[in-house]
Structure 1
Amino acid sequence: MTETESFDIFEEKLKTLAGPGICPGLSRISNFLSFVDNPERKFNVVHVVGTNGKGSTAATLSSILIDSGYKVATYTSPHLVSFGERLSINNKNVSVSKWMKTLRKIEEIMKLNKCLIQNPPTYFELITVLAFMMIAEEKVDIAVVEAGLGGRLDATNILKNIRLTLIASIGIDHTEYLGDSLRDIAAEKFAVIRKNTPTIFQGGNDVINQQFLETVRKSFSIGNILDKFCEYNSLRVNEHGTDFYVTYNGTKSDYHTPLIGTHQTKNATLAIMGAEALKKGFPSIDQSSMQSGVANTIFQGRFEVVSKSPMLILDGAHNPHAMHSLVETLKQLFKESHIKIVLAMMQDKDVKKSLSILSKLDCSIFCTEIPEMARSMKSDKLLQIAKEVGIKSLSTYKNPIDAVLSSLSHSEITICCGSLYLIGYIKKNLKLLENKIDSI
């Protein structure tokens, strides 16, 4: 049995213990953690929130801390291929046996305390409890924890020993839970800001920046906006990554990240400035470890080049803000080239606006859907919306692999985007493409 198959069994067990659906709030997880000796109080934390870029930022900061010699837990979501991606210690995924062992402990506690069965934590809350238990057992120096959804009522906001909060870019997403306006969504994110805790915001428009500073003032926090205290800019973007510089305290330093795109300069700079803020408590962080940490960052599914001949790229962009960054990167790398886009999106996303942004490219769209996923928009519906925004070269496929196979061409570029679930599905099934691409 493969590790992925073992994690599938683990996930099925997990679902039988979890409550249904998404139900934001901290009461269930707070109650549950009290039955497992409150592991969330036993380790230092960097809390990373935001709409887009928080995963890249978390991965980069974790890499810097690891290269500085610290034992680092990284907790992120969702996973792409294997559930084990959600929690790593020094970039090594925690094993399925460790997850299963911890789940059995929880199952026994639930059997002994009926109140936990009557009002069980949600799926994400239960995963978060398990992760916190394992992080505490590992006795890490620090954990980099990415919020799941929003901030104020996200399960990760139960954490206590927050040493630093990083807020990546904020855009419109998950409106059914966070509100319809950018201001409402920002309020949910900014609610994680803690008293006397350093907080760095990547920055937004003037109104959102002012909202951040006002929240910092009311929270008695120590907050700043990224471009108010450092300067950064991309120097070069290509299929190998992004070269950029950061000027801080009068010193200019050059960096390279394997993550591709000018937007990754901003994400990496947020992580670098986070590392600067941590130096007092983590004195092994220095310029060398920051540069090597950025260069050694590992993060799948974000403008990930899986084949160069033909060119096949996977990107998890799934909302208008992320689509804009994707389009800008494609234009920068491939100029006026024709782009073939394999696209699947969830029904609850702003599909029309995302397609409007993609329509700015010279592109053909191969509309597809995620098999056996009710949330996935049907390919014919996706095609209909694409027509409405003026995209003319369109086709539909029930299976993403068929769409990829039809799109591949040695003279053109194929990019798969629209959903992290799409990226995960393709990565799981890359072997079906091995005769068509140069590398896996």
Structure 2
Amino acid sequence: MNYAESLHYLEELNTFGVRLGLARMEELCARLGNPERAYAVIHIAGTNGKGSVTQMMDAVFHAAGIRSGRYLSPHLISYTERMSVDGHDIPEARFAELLTRVRSAADEMVAAGHEHPTQFEALTALAFLYFAEEQVEVAVIETGLGGLLDSTNVVEPILTIITNVAMDHADRCGGTLAGIAEHKAGIIKEGVPVITAATGEPLEIIERRAEELGADVFVCGEDFSAQLFFPNGGGQRVAFHSVVCREPEPFELALAGVYQAENAALVIMAAKLLEREDARVTEKAVRVALRSVRHPARFEILSYEGVPVVVDGAHNPAGMRALRAGLDRYFTDAPRVFLLGILKDKDIDGMLAALLRTGDQVVTVRPNSERAAAADVVAGIAAGMGLDTRACGDAETALSEAAARARAGNALLVAAGSLYLVGGIRALLTAGR
């Protein structure tokens, strides 16, 4: 297949939907020679923050001179964004070549009487194969959904990170916070250290599972912590505190957002553990990584025709609360115009209640997903909160409307609600640059 044909094939795989379980993935990997066993793995799960932590960890390895792969989802614009080696996304031709091989293995599976792999399983297998053939030393692998039955959970990691646990994907992960925590804890492996920022009942579940498997647990807020502060000279720094290792000087942090301090703390703690086994993972490498890492559409601050813009992939109530905290800290007094698109299986009422203030304006549009809520549905909920709203039929019109409102009111424009929305909005914002 060429790249265009590979995209068509991936669309065909969408007909299989989301089907949790590891049997298909184990069979597919076996037929490809188990490429996931060719390198060390850092496995990362969590409701929010796992993408940022994945990018930060990959940046640490790159700064340390360790050849690394990185796998995350979903993408913003192109499938090739999901997998990279040494900071470079997979080329389209290589993507198509490897997906052709994955397709052949999948066809063999079906011919032998097995279920057909899903789209996410095919993409995950492609990433595993790419990393093996590129001879990476370590791969940083983000789960797709949950953990226990997620396609990535065929790996045997050297370190597990569970960022946090909040209500999201409850319909597929047990329906309760405890059920979601059980799924996240499902990536814990026997004797493999766990780092987490989970709290309350989810933390108890994670700790119980780790104890059953003889895995040490390092808890943010107990064993280590971080505080974000803003020096007079500008920028932002993270002060890292720990009861299990020496406290370093504060770290410069490139990624904006109050929540990134906690994410950085998880990465710093991970580096402290990895340093015991690999002297290349130094404090200097962590410093270089944290001050240079980039993660598009995560409290990303841009400008559009003179209007300041924040693009953020927040897509659940906890993410919206984190976004709101960041806006309150970085843009305290600015009026706000929101450009929102949300999936229909999300807690839309809870998300808007967490994000919006009296006086905010809201422009809505349907995200690019079959699961998307209609623009007028989201607009209706915002209007019910007493806010000035408008539903638009396409992203270009919505951006134009939101930008005009922000310009007229000397306001901040904020695009959020779903990665299936903000990827396209970000492309429009950065077109021609």
Work out whether residues 203 and 227 of structure 1, in 8 Å CA contact, stay in contact via their aligned partners in 2: no
- Establish whether residue 325 from structure 1 lines up as the match of residue 319 from structure 2: no
What is the aligned partner in structure 1 of residue 416 from structure 2? Answer: 417
Q: What is the alpha-carbon distance in structure 2 between the residues aligned to residue 250 and residue 310 of structure 1? A: 44
Q: What is the alpha-carbon distance in structure 2 between the residues aligned to residue 266 and residue 233 of structure 1? A: 8
Superimposed CA distance per residue, residues 20-51 of structure 1 (whole angstroms, 9 cap, x where no aligned partner) = 10000000111111111111111100000000
What is the aligned partner in structure 2 of residue 227 from structure 1? Answer: 221
Q: What is the alpha-carbon distance in structure 2 between the residues aligned to residue 41 and residue 387 of structure 1? A: 52
Q: What is the alpha-carbon distance in structure 2 between the residues aligned to residue 164 and residue 393 of structure 1? A: 47
What is the aligned partner in structure 2 of residue 115 from structure 1? Answer: 111
Q: What is the alpha-carbon distance in structure 2 between the residues aligned to residue 403 and residue 94 of structure 1? A: 32
Superimposed CA distance per residue, residues 51-79 of structure 1 (whole angstroms, 9 cap, x where no aligned partner) = 00000011011101110110010000000
Q: What is the alpha-carbon distance in structure 1 between the residues aligned to residue 231 and residue 300 of structure 2? A: 13
Cα shift at 1:429: 2.9
Cα shift at 1:251: 2.2
Q: What is the alpha-carbon distance in structure 2 between the residues aligned to residue 124 and residue 112 of structure 1? A: 18
What is the aligned partner in structure 1 of residue 256 from structure 2? Answer: 260
Deviates more, 1:95-104 or 1:358-367: 358-367
What is the aligned partner in structure 2 of residue 182 from structure 1? Answer: 177
Cα shift at 1:341: 0.2
Following superposition of structure 1 onto structure 2, how do residues 15-30 of structure 1 map, counting pairs within 5 Å? 15-16=11-12, 20-30=16-26
Following superposition of structure 1 onto structure 2, how do residues 207-226 of structure 1 map, counting pairs within 5 Å? 207-226=201-220
Cα shift at 1:303: 1.0
Work out whether residues 28 and 109 of structure 2, in 8 Å CA contact, stay in contact via their aligned partners in 1: no
Work out whether residues 255 and 291 of structure 1, in 8 Å CA contact, stay in contact via their aligned partners in 2: yes
Residue type of the alignment partner of 1:244: V
RMSD: 2.0
Following superposition of structure 1 onto structure 2, how do residues 401-416 of structure 1 map, counting pairs within 5 Å? 401-408=396-403, 409-410=406-407, 411-416=410-415
Cα shift at 1:250: 4.0
- Establish whether residue 88 from structure 1 lines up as the match of residue 84 from structure 2: yes
Q: What is the alpha-carbon distance in structure 1 between the residues aligned to residue 256 and residue 86 of structure 2? A: 23
Select which of 47, 51, 54 maps to 2:43: 47
Q: What is the alpha-carbon distance in structure 2 between the residues aligned to residue 294 and residue 121 of structure 1? A: 37
Q: What is the alpha-carbon distance in structure 1 between the residues aligned to residue 4 and residue 77 of structure 2? A: 11
What secondary structure is seen at the aligned counterpart in 2 of 1:176?
coil
Cα shift at 1:276: 1.0
What secondary structure is seen at the aligned counterpart in 2 of 1:29?
helix
Work out whether residues 241 and 261 of structure 1, in 8 Å CA contact, stay in contact via their aligned partners in 2: no
- Establish whether residue 357 from structure 1 lines up as the match of residue 354 from structure 2: yes
Work out whether residues 109 and 116 of structure 2, in 8 Å CA contact, stay in contact via their aligned partners in 1: no
Q: What is the alpha-carbon distance in structure 1 between the residues aligned to residue 141 and residue 211 of structure 2? A: 24
Work out whether residues 313 and 417 of structure 2, in 8 Å CA contact, stay in contact via their aligned partners in 1: yes
Cα shift at 1:283: 1.2
Superimposed CA distance per residue, residues 127-173 of structure 1 (whole angstroms, 9 cap, x where no aligned partner) = 1111111111111110000000000000110112x110001011111
- Establish whether residue 149 from structure 1 lines up as the match of residue 157 from structure 2: no
Q: What is the alpha-carbon distance in structure 2 between the residues aligned to residue 403 and residue 211 of structure 1? A: 43
What is the aligned partner in structure 2 of residue 3 from structure 1? Answer: none
What is the aligned partner in structure 2 of residue 168 from structure 1? Answer: 163
What is the aligned partner in structure 2 of residue 126 from structure 1? Answer: 122
What secondary structure is seen at the aligned counterpart in 2 of 1:57?
helix
Question: Structure 2: where are the runs of 5+ without partners?
Answer: none
Work out whether residues 81 and 427 of structure 1, in 8 Å CA contact, stay in contact via their aligned partners in 2: no
- Establish whether residue 68 from structure 1 lines up as the match of residue 67 from structure 2: no
Distance 1:362 1:266, change over 3 A: farther
TM-score normalised over the length of structure 2: 0.93
Work out whether residues 62 and 72 of structure 1, in 8 Å CA contact, stay in contact via their aligned partners in 2: yes
Q: What is the alpha-carbon distance in structure 2 between the residues aligned to residue 261 and residue 17 of structure 1? A: 36
Superimposed CA distance per residue, residues 345-399 of structure 1 (whole angstroms, 9 cap, x where no aligned partner) = 000000000111123364101121135x4321111111222233x2321111111
Cα shift at 1:113: 5.0
Distance 1:96 1:23, change over 3 A: same
Across the two proteins, how many residue pairs are aligned to each other?
Answer: 424
Deviates more, 1:255-264 or 1:103-112: 103-112
Residue type of the alignment partner of 2:22: L
Select which of 373, 376, 387 maps to 1:377: 373
Deviates more, 1:210-219 or 1:38-47: 210-219
Deviates more, 1:337-346 or 1:176-185: 176-185
Cα shift at 1:263: 0.6
Cα shift at 1:8: 5.0
What is the aligned partner in structure 1 of residue 276 from structure 2? Answer: 280
Q: What is the alpha-carbon distance in structure 2 between the residues aligned to residue 361 and residue 416 of structure 1? A: 18
Cα shift at 1:313: 1.6
Work out whether residues 339 and 361 of structure 1, in 8 Å CA contact, stay in contact via their aligned partners in 2: no
Q: What is the alpha-carbon distance in structure 1 between the residues aligned to residue 211 and residue 80 of structure 2? A: 39
Select which of 309, 329, 333 maps to 1:312: 309
What secondary structure is seen at the aligned counterpart in 2 of 1:253?
coil
Q: What is the alpha-carbon distance in structure 2 between the residues aligned to residue 270 and residue 377 of structure 1? A: 34
Q: What is the alpha-carbon distance in structure 2 between the residues aligned to residue 40 and residue 175 of structure 1? A: 28
Q: What is the alpha-carbon distance in structure 2 between the residues aligned to residue 225 and residue 263 of structure 1? A: 16
What secondary structure is seen at the aligned counterpart in 2 of 1:203?
coil
Q: What is the alpha-carbon distance in structure 2 between the residues aligned to residue 330 and residue 116 of structure 1? A: 54
Distance 1:110 1:49, change over 3 A: closer
What secondary structure is seen at the aligned counterpart in 1 of 2:250?
strand
